[in-house]
Amino acid sequence: MVMGLLTKLLLTKKLKFENGLISLEGMKLNLLPSIFTSEIMGYHIRENSLWKLYMMSWLWGFAIVHKSIKEFNLKTPEEIYRVGMDLGEALGIGIYKTHDYYPGRYTHFSIKNNPFLENMKLTEKTKEPIDYFVSGAMAGGGCFVHDAVCQNIEIKCMAMGHDVCEFLTGTEKELKDRGLWDIAKERYKLNKIYALQDDIFKNYNEKNGNDFVKKVIDIIS
């Protein structure tokens, strides 16, 4: 599926490699070694500040899906979700498998071949999930699938010894109904970032994007 997507994008010239740039429907992309993200994850683990990585990644996921909706003329939650997952695989963030999906409430999926954890070469199992980069991006992008501020809970993690990394992106109501909201509040320090997430969800546009980046930097500094 992913190779078919890439081939189609290249043939239609929606994806271009030219003049030292990579562009996807007008979006400029970079191919960065996954070790770069792994090192950032390692730093935040040592500093006990993974919630900061989550918020940065949340904004990244929100912004790229916001742009994708416009550039790909996406209309339905299903279109947004499918393009988002296909792009995730195409960008090298493992193999995605959707387990369950309910627009407006939640998406339940897993990832195999997680490159960030493979690069970290952990010497022992972790006690808690550590994929805050993926969780943040999926939560931010998921806002457009569920038309609400979303958070993402990693249920299983390869770093803990599981075979896959398993995630649930959900609205506040969905996570409360599942008994996961308190975990999200503690894990991501939502008392610090939720108001900003809500502001981004309601007011973000391409013109004020840099202003929101500054707000994120200010809140995690």
Residue 1: pLDDT above 60? no
Superfamily in which the 32-220 domain is placed by CATH: Trafficking protein particle complex subunit 3 (3.30.1380.20)
Higher per-residue confidence, 113 vs 173:
173
Residue 25: pLDDT above 70? no
Domain ranges of the chain: 1-31, 32-220
**pLDDT band per the 50, 70, 90 thresholds, residue 34:** confident
- Per-residue model confidence as pLDDT tens digits over 94-138: 888 999 999 999 999 999 888 888 888 888 899 999 999 999 999
DSSP per-residue string spanning 163-202: SSEEEEEEEHHHHHHTT-HHHHHHHHTHHHHHHHHHHHHH
**pLDDT band per the 50, 70, 90 thresholds, residue 12:** low
- Per-residue model confidence as pLDDT tens digits over 50-101: 999 999 999 999 998 998 898 888 999 999 998 888 777 777 778 889 999 9
CA distances from 74 to 30, 65, 154, 203 (A): 23, 10, 27, 20
